[in-house]
Structure 1
């Protein structure tokens, strides 16, 4: 009788944990979808388009020696101060 009660309680815990996990997965999926929608909305906005264009322009110039020099001197100097 005692073992049967313990097994029943354990099964209830497992069922509750499974239900919580499913709810967390649904919530995570909803948050992921919402983030995707917000990202697409931002990329379609004016600041998003400007940012995307600037990143693309910089990526095409990444092999330029002037860009490499500026990036090496300015890009990581502020980071070294914090580390």
Structure 2
């Protein structure tokens, strides 16, 4: 599996969110660098698990659609 990456815009938005959370909830000012390190750590720690869960969810959804395929398109060919 290739490394999970974020667009610069998305990473910046997450860093702002982390800084805001620490400021409002913990009364602590984080530098942009420290917020970026937290985002990077969470991406490495949680990214693969979230990705794998998404793949399983899509697989289950598609399997359900495939299971319904016979009922949706089946044509009785008996004479």
TM, length-normalised to structure 2: 0.41
Structure showing greater Rg: 1
TM-score under structure 1 normalisation?
A: 0.40
Which structure has more RCO (C-alpha within 8 Å, separation ≥ 6)? 2
From the two aligned structures, give the one with the greater helix fraction.
1
